[in-house]
Structures are given as structure tokens and as C-alpha cells.
Amino acid sequence: MKCPYCGFPDSKVVDSRPNDVGDSIRRRRECGRCGKRFTTYEQVESFPILVIKKDGKREPFDRNKLLRGLYKACEKRPVSADQLEALATEIEQTIRNSLEREIPSAQIGEMVMERLFKLDEVAYVRFASVYRSFRDVNLFYHELRKLLDKSGGMGD
């Protein structure tokens, strides 16, 4: 690794540790010529994942977009930011572990709904109402019935 101070092409690693998220390694290095120390980060090279939208367009997977949707669904609910981060990480890892370079947005939506159902039922209904684009009360009622049936809630 080239020294940012003197440009010498050789340095040695004096300390390594994973970052807080665990997706990269922080390395403290020391220049072989000037002796100054600097920090580098090493991470696994990953391929971009494309999301196939309903209209057939493709766009890069955006974890922040996923998180925004989760935050919106869980607004004013007893769900912590750490829980939402963990949920987003789990979904992203599932997508990356599939080794597919393209994934339909519908598949991501189903993953979100499955996990939100277990985390917070109100957030699940909020997300489902936007995701499934309910056009009338009957479709919304049908989704609520499924929720009540799954959770063993009281019916009519």
C-alpha cells in the first residue's frame, strides 16, 4: 500500500480489526520509509444487484431505500432502529447469498412482509397496504383476515 505522505510503495500492517458493522477490516499501517501511520479499509468485492421493478425497469439495489420503507411502516411503533437495521441486513444478506445478480422487487417485498409480520403486525399491515396497492376496502379487509387467521386473533 502506497504511503499517502511520501508515496513510498511499501508499508506494514501494525493493527487490524473489523469495523463495527463487520463488513470491512480496518488496518493501521506504517510506512517503511517515513514511519508515518495511516489507516486503510479492506472489504470483500461484491457485484451489484439489480432490482427488477414491476414495469420491467432495472435499478441498483439500495439498502437505504429498503430502510426508508421499513422506517415508514414502523413509524410510531415500538420497534427500535437496531431492529430495523438488523432486518435490513438480514434481507440484504439473503439477497446477496442467493448469488443472483437480479431480483424482482416483488420478491424483496415478500421478504419484508414475512419479517414485518413477525416483528410488528401493525407495521406489517401498513407495509402491505402500500406494497399491495389496495384499491378498495375489501382487499384491505381480506389481508387483515389473513393476518388474524395467522396470528390466532379474534374474528367475527
Quote the CA–CA distance of 116 and 108 in Å, as a whole number: 12
pLDDT of residue 155: 46
Q: Is the pLDDT of residue 154 over 70?
A: no
What residues does 13 pair with on adjacent strands?
29
Task: Using pLDDT thresholds of 50, 70 and 90, give the confidence band for residue 14.
Answer: very high
Stretch 50-64: mean pLDDT: 94
Judged by DSSP in three states, 78 sits in: coil
- In which region does residue 7 sit, left (phi positive, over 0), alpha (psi from -120 to 50) or beta (all else)? left
> Residue 104 CA to chain centroid, in angstroms?
15
User: What are the structural domain ranges in the chain?
Assistant: 11-43, 50-151
Q: Is the pLDDT of residue 20 over 80?
A: no
- Cell 432502529 -> residue: 81
Going edge to edge, which strands form the sheet with 37-43? Answer: 11-18, 24-31, 37-43
pLDDT of residue 68: 94
Judged by DSSP in three states, 47 sits in: coil
Task: Using pLDDT thresholds of 50, 70 and 90, give the confidence band for residue 156.
Answer: very low
Cα 55 to Cα 34, 49, 51, 114, distances in angstroms: 57, 17, 11, 23
Name the amino acid, one letter, at 4: P
pLDDT: which is higher, 129 or 116: 116
Q: Is the pLDDT of residue 39 over 90?
A: yes
